[in-house]
Amino acid sequence: MSADQMSVGEMLAATVPMAGTLNLEFLETTAERAVVRLPDQPAYHNHVGGPHAGAMFTLAESASGAIVIAAFGDQLGRAVPLAVKAEIGYKKLAMGVVTATATLGRPVAEVVAELDAGQRPEFPVRIDITREDGAVTGEMTVIWTLAPHRPKSLVGE
C-alpha cells in the first residue's frame, strides 16, 4: 500500500511505532478534527486502574499528529512537521476507554502562506481527552511547526 493509499492512522502507526504500540484506534482524521481512542488495556494501567498518564499523553499527541498530517500532508514534500512543545493537564480520573479529540488552532491557509513566505510557521493543536461518559479527563495543547527541508550540501555533509 502506498502512502497515498494509506489512511492517516495507518501512516502514523507505520511511521511512529509508539502509536501502534498502544493499539490506538484512529476514528476520524480530517483537517478540522482528529479523534483517536485508547482501548482499555490492563498493560497500560496506572496504580489506580485507569490509563497511565504516559499513555494518555501519547494518545493526545497522536491525535494532534493525525490532524497535522490531515491538514498539511500535501506539504510533506517541502517541510517536516515537528512538535515544538506540549502542555497537558489531567483534570479528572480517567477509567476505561479514553478518547482524544484534536482541533487545529489556526487556519491551514494561514500556516501554508507563512511557509510559502519562507518562514517556519508554528501553530497550536488543542486536544480534549474524555471518558466514555463524556467527562473531560485531560486537556493538552501541542505547538507544532512545519520545518522547511534544508537543501542538501553540494560538498556532502
Name the amino acid, one letter, at 95: M
Name the amino acid, one letter, at 42: P
Strand order in the sheet with 79-90: 25-29, 33-38, 98-104, 122-131, 136-148, 79-90
Do 51 and 43 meet the contact criterion of CB atoms below 8 Å apart?
A: no
What tens digit of pLDDT does each residue of 47-71 get? 999 999 999 999 999 999 999 999 9
Mean pLDDT of 32-58: 95
- Under the banding of pLDDT at 50, 70 and 90, the label for residue 79 is very high
Question: Is the pTM of the predicted complex or chain greater than 0.85?
Answer: yes
In this structure, the number of other CB atoms found within 10 A of the CB of residue 69 comes to 20
- Under the banding of pLDDT at 50, 70 and 90, the label for residue 101 is very high
SS3 70: helix
Cβ neighbours for 15, distance < 8 A, ≥ 6 positions apart:
none
Buried residues in 84-114 as b, exposed as e (16+ CB within 10 A): eebebeeeeebbeebbbbbebeeebeebbee
What tens digit of pLDDT does each residue of 103-140 get? 999 999 999 999 999 999 999 999 999 999 999 999 99
* Residue 1: per-residue pLDDT: 36
Q: 122, 50, 125: which is closest to 88 by C-alpha?
A: 125
Mean pLDDT of 13-17: 76
Do 34 and 67 meet the contact criterion of CB atoms below 8 Å apart?
A: yes
Mean pLDDT of 91-114: 97
Facing residues of 33 across strands? 103
* Residue 5: per-residue pLDDT: 52
Do 65 and 115 meet the contact criterion of CB atoms below 8 Å apart?
A: no
* Residue 2: per-residue pLDDT: 38
Distance CA(3)–CA(34), nearest Å, equals 19
* Residue 119: per-residue pLDDT: 94
Classify burial at 65, counting beta carbons within 10 Å of its beta carbon; exposed 0-12, middle 13-18, buried 19 or more: buried
* Residue 19: per-residue pLDDT: 79
* Residue 156: per-residue pLDDT: 53
